[in-house]
Amino acid sequence: MHNSPTFILLEAMHWQDYELLDSGDGLKLERFGKYIFARPESQAMWSRSLPQRDWDTAHAIFQPTAEESGGHWDFKKRVDEKWEMKYDLTPSPSPLRRGAQLRFWAMTTPGRHLGVFPEVAAHWDFMAGLIQKANLHPEHGRREPVKVLNLFGYTGLATLSAAAAGAQVTHVDASKKSVNWARENQALSGLNEKPIRWIVEDAVKYMQREEKRGVRYDGIILDPPKFGRGPKGEVWEVYKSLPHLFEVCRACLSENPLFVIATLYAVRASAIHVAQALDEMMKKYKGQIDSGELVTREKSANRLLSQAVYARWWAE
């Protein structure tokens, strides 16, 4: 690598509506808004800190099956079909103005998730700060609003963070259900007037077409799954597909890109591997790279739970 990246345990510090209450024995106990859930967590290799009576307060427990994403929720108490959560965007570094309040719907899903990955909020704050700074300092050669691409955009919280900070955003996800959910979150957050394009498409195919159309982006967010299928049955396997995705993303970068953020869940890749791939992608641009793990600090015993590996590049 041109410069060794800084390795960081990156923590989302500004949550009010989410808490990791406890973890251990292969489980984690979390509060999402007004509800408490217990979910499997293979990284929690220690003993629980809280007594069983605290774990018994969970509204629902996810019971996994042998399949990687299979299982079902065992409801102990009544839980609304969906409920509202919020996050106060805190642009960093160098906050220039206060961020927006994101409001979004959470709900239990068959795949153990609830519509938000709280640890990724550290990236929302980071890119919001970069976008604000770029838009408020056009003397650096940027005459138009920052254009951001969010691939595998899920329920749209990164998209809304970028749009609230002043970016024009293209949101791509293969799941029509996820894109509809994201659009509901846009309305709930009061961001309907923001310039967001919602695309239901296979990420690689979409990027190949964007390259041919000559479309260029200043910022790219990559949050790919370990495995997935596109709307027409396209197969995504992260180890095989990610190098090619990096190639087509590089071809769609503007002359003066602002940032690229890549986050990987449930894979055996080291953060250094992701950083090296990103460094190769960005080698012709002048910037910085950091990489590491997205972590959540436990309320009960102050332990850090690693959730994902990441690497991010940003312009100097």
Residue 53, classed as helix, strand or coil, is helix
Report the alpha-carbon distance of residue 203 to residue 210 in Å, rounded: 10
Helices (H), 146-237: 157-164, 176-188, 203-213
Reported as a single tens digit per residue, the pLDDT across 41-57 is: 999 999 999 999 999 99
Strand order in the sheet with 196-200: 6-11, 287-297, 304-315, 259-264, 219-222, 147-151, 168-173, 196-200
Band the pLDDT of 301: cuts 50, 70, 90: very high
Give domain status of residue 24, yes or no.
Answer: no
| 188 found inside a domain | yes
Please classify residue 210 by burial: count the beta carbons closer than 10 Å to its beta carbon, then call 0-12 exposed, 13-18 middle and 19+ buried: buried
Q: Is residue 267 domain-resident?
A: yes
Q: What is the mean predicted confidence (pLDDT) over 162-182?
A: 96
β 259-264/304-315 pair status: antiparallel
Most confident of 30-34, 201-205, 274-278: 30-34
How many distinct structural domains can be found in the chain?
A: 1
Residue 258: closest CA among 86, 99, 132: 132
Identify the domain containing residue 225 by its residue range: 82-315
For residue 168, being part of any structural domain is answered with yes
What's the confidence (pLDDT) of residue 156?
A: 98
Q: Is 34 part of any domain?
A: no
pLDDT tens-digit profile of 14-32? 999 999 999 999 999 999 9
Average pLDDT, integer, range 282-292: 95
- Look-up of token digits 């309907």: 192
Give a yes or no: residue 44 inside a domain: no
Tokens 């080698």 correspond to what residue? 283
Residue 128 counted as domain residue = yes
The pLDDT of residue 141? 56
State the Cα angle at 77 between 111 and 87, rounded to 5°: 60
C-alpha span between 48 and 263 (Å, rounded):
28
pLDDT value, residue 135? 86
Separation between Cα atoms, residue 9 and residue 115, nearest integer Å? 23
On whether residue 296 sits in a domain, the answer given is yes
**Which of the pair, 244 or 179, is modelled with greater confidence?**
179
- Note the pLDDT of residue 136: 79
Predicted pLDDT of residue 310: 95
> 309 and 269 in contact (C-beta within 8 Å)?
yes
pLDDT value, residue 204 = 87
145: CATH: 3.40.50.150
Instruction: Mention every residue, 6+ apart, whose C-beta is less than 8 A from residue 268.
Output: none
Per-residue DSSP letter, 31 = E
Instruction: For residue 162, give the amino acid letter.
Output: A
- Whether the per-residue pLDDT at 79 is higher than 80: the answer is yes
Nearest to 36 by CA among 51, 50, 54: 54
Share the mean pLDDT of the chain: 91
Q: How far is the C-alpha of 282 from the C-alpha of 76, rounded, in Å?
A: 49
Contact status, residue 289 vs residue 259, Cβ threshold 8 Å? no
Beta-carbon contacts of residue 68 (< 8 Å; ≥ 6 apart): none
